[in-house]
Amino acid sequence: MRIVLLGAPGAGKGTQCKRLVSQYSLAHLSSGDILRQERAQGTDLGRQAQSYMDSGALVPDDLIIGMMKKAIDQTPKAGYVLDGFPRTLKQALELDKVLVAGGSPIDAVINLEVDDAIIADRMSGRRSCPACGAVYHIRNLKPQKDGVCDKDGTALIQRPDDDLEVVKKRLETYRQQTQPLIGYYQKQGVLHEVDANAGADAVDSVIREVLDKLIVRRRPVARARR
Ligand code: AP5
């Protein structure tokens, strides 16, 4: 299965992707995580992306498209979930071109719908591990020991782009440049809207329901072809 998770900053894309990866044996391709790795490694791409990310703007399409094409090329066609990509119409068109040419189009786009007040709470309470990328929340998903990553003991940080002013800009950027993708994927008949205001377990089970139905729907087709 090839899945795209859409949603505003802080909607819970990364949280849900991590769950899907283990439940459905998918690879997790997060454009934000890849960019943060590039920055940590001090690569040219990381340096070019830095000012855009810190201000809450999008990194230019050409840089992102090249980066994500490379990541998709290195991932088995059979299954992955895209988190944070595509984020503009140009990125979506390029993604379609690449996947259709390879005979492996997107199966489902899940749009996580979350109210603004909840987004603000999720972003302000998020804490991340700079070493392994694990994500926590000071109330909703606490680490076992305050401020310390359960997985590797690293001190947790608040992402610089979770600063209130930057969050406002990220939400504005999302509305202007990413929200139009909802209509784009609706027209393709692959969009599934999920109310993601509830806790992570509840959201997870709604997403699984959507994906399990898709899997079941495909089975008779596969048998008929044999
Ligand atoms: P990126 O890292 O992709 O940021 P984002 O899309 O803004 O999403 P976030 O990572 O902030 O949130 P999320 O939806 O994954 O939420 P999470 O699961 O962490 O991008 C960063 C920057 O990189 C961009 O601003 C841009 O500059 C650049 N960039 C990236 N991709 C790009 C692209 N394609 N084109 C151009 N530029 C690009 O959850 C948030 C918090 O809420 C956590 O604390 C979590 O524990 C908690 N939480 C999650 N779900 C729930 C729930 N259901 N109930 C309660 N708490 C929850």
Name which residue sits closest to atom 39 of ligand 1, judged by CA: 12
User: Which domains does the chain show, CATH number per domain?
Assistant: 2-114+167-218 (3.40.50.300)
| Residues 6+ positions from 41 with CB-CB distance below 8 Å | none
Give pTM, 2 decimals. Answer: 0.93
Q: Please tell me the distance from the alpha carbon of residue 5 to that of residue 189, in angstroms, as a whole number.
A: 15
Please list the pLDDT of the chain residue by residue as tens digits (226 residues).
899 999 999 999 999 999 999 889 899 999 999 999 999 999 999 999 999 999 999 999 999 999 999 999 998 777 899 999 999 999 999 999 998 888 888 999 999 999 999 999 999 999 999 888 899 999 989 999 999 999 999 999 999 899 889 999 999 999 999 999 999 999 999 999 999 999 999 999 999 999 999 888 777 655 555 5
CA 11 to ligand 1 center in whole angstroms: 7
* Atom number in ligand 1 closest to CA 141: 46
- Please state the atom number of ligand 1 nearest to the C-alpha of residue 125: 44
CA of 217 to the centre of ligand 1 (A): 31
Q: In which residue are the tokens 């692959």 written?
A: 190
Q: How far is the CA of 218 from the centre of ligand 1 (A)?
A: 31
